[in-house]
Amino acid sequence: MSVEDFDFLVERLTPYICKKKTVFRKPISVGERIAVTLRYLATGDSFSSLMSVFLLGKTTICKIIHETCRTFYTVLGEEFLKVPSTHDEWTKIADRFNERWHFPNCCGALDGKHIAIQAPSNCGSEYFNYKKYNSIVLMALADADYKFLFVEVGAYGRESDGGVFARCPLSSALADNTLNFPPPRQLPLEIAEMPFVIVADDAFPIKTYLMKPFCYREQVMSHKIFNYRLSRARNVIENVFGICASRFRILRRPMDVKPEHAKDIVLVICVLHNFLLTRKSIYIQRCDVDDDTEGTAVRGSWRTELGENGILPSIRPSSTLGRGTDNAMNVRENFMEYFMTPHGEVAWQYNRTILHNSFQSC
């Protein structure tokens, strides 16, 4: 973060977290409050270790961080974590997906991740997930340039992905089209119109607006091609999670805070991620993310830094999603056929199909 970015945050938050000066003491400045919070998020240091850095009491640091996180999201969330609401906004996102990741009519990549927390008192097994630790779930949608479009945080770690998504506001908004997706349009050099869709992994149900891979067993070549192209586009959200865990190291360890505070922390991280992407900073460099330009696979530095399993494993696929509707399967078949045409294919897809699992989620 540059000095200019930090000063911008101080200016925006000053009216909300600035304390009054009294005859008994001077208040802790807004700049120091933000610095304490950012250091906590960026390093993952405990409240006790931050005491020696800022010469503040543990209780004071705890109160500052929780208050600043809530204010961050309240003040900046609407500006930097806003869901697109017009046809033009969604169309621009889809055009960018086609330009960068060669998946037309794609309005975002969807996935869910576990955020590790310390088990609250008397919580039973509510937060205990299939990976054998306690967590809350982050459900997120990202655009082609690694920016969050939608986030929902706080579901119990024990819940399946199908259950989390079914109760997520995004699910009902997609079903009712309150997100204001554009009407179907033609794919490049095609006559038939195709709906706008979101790409996801095998953990999600297939819908006319939500594309998932074909079953990986006994695949024909056309299915493998579709799965590679979808995986290539969906890899965006994996990189978003990886970058966040790499930059905000609080995500690398179980958060020793209440679940409601953990939710505030994750929301602030998402806002700061988008904020830094909009600034002229070096928050993300090309080497930080996976690069699949013209089929040459280069893994992002965050994968090496976090290890193959990372800190944010994907939520468990549900076994109760059931069979998709005929209309949804027809949409997937139409995309598959388009990717096999001379104007819809990419030159390297046949060579990369066998290796596309190298870009599957950590």
Q: Give the pLDDT confidence score for residue 354 in this predicted structure.
A: 55
Successive 10-residue mean pLDDT values, the chain, 362 residues: 91 90 83 94 90 90 93 92 92 94 93 90 84 90 93 88 84 89 90 92 90 84 91 91 91 90 94 90 72 63 60 47 75 92 86 54 40
Q: What is the DSSP code (8-state) at residue 158? A: T
User: 32, exposed or middle or buried, with CB in 10 Å at 0-12, 13-18, 19+?
Assistant: middle
Q: What is the DSSP code (8-state) at residue 117? A: B
CA gyration radius for the chain? 22
Residues 312-357: tens digit of each pLDDT: 445 544 444 445 678 999 999 999 999 999 988 888 887 766 554 4
DSSP secondary structure of 203-258: TS--BTTEE-PPPSSS--HHHHHHHHHHHHHHHHHHHHHHHHHHH-GGGGS-B-S-
How many separate helices (H) and strands (E) can be counted in the chain?
Answer: 12, 7
Domain locations in the chain as residue ranges: 3-80, 87-359
Report the distance separating Cα 299 and Cα 290, nearest Å: 5
Q: Give the pLDDT confidence score for residue 362 in this predicted structure.
A: 40
Nearest to 197 by CA among 233, 223, 236: 233
Q: Give the pLDDT confidence score for residue 299 in this predicted structure.
A: 67
Q: Give the pLDDT confidence score for residue 192 in this predicted structure.
A: 86
Report the distance separating Cα 285 and Cα 296, nearest Å: 18
Q: Give the pLDDT confidence score for residue 162 in this predicted structure.
A: 72
Residues 26-79: tens digit of each pLDDT: 888 999 999 999 999 999 888 889 998 888 999 999 999 999 999 999 999 999
Q: How many residues does the chain have?
A: 362
Report the distance separating Cα 166 and Cα 162, nearest Å: 6
Q: Give the pLDDT confidence score for residue 164 in this predicted structure.
A: 86
Nearest to 147 by CA among 278, 247, 251: 278
- Amino acid 61 reads I
78's CB contacts (< 8 A; 6+ apart) are: none
pTM of the model: 0.88
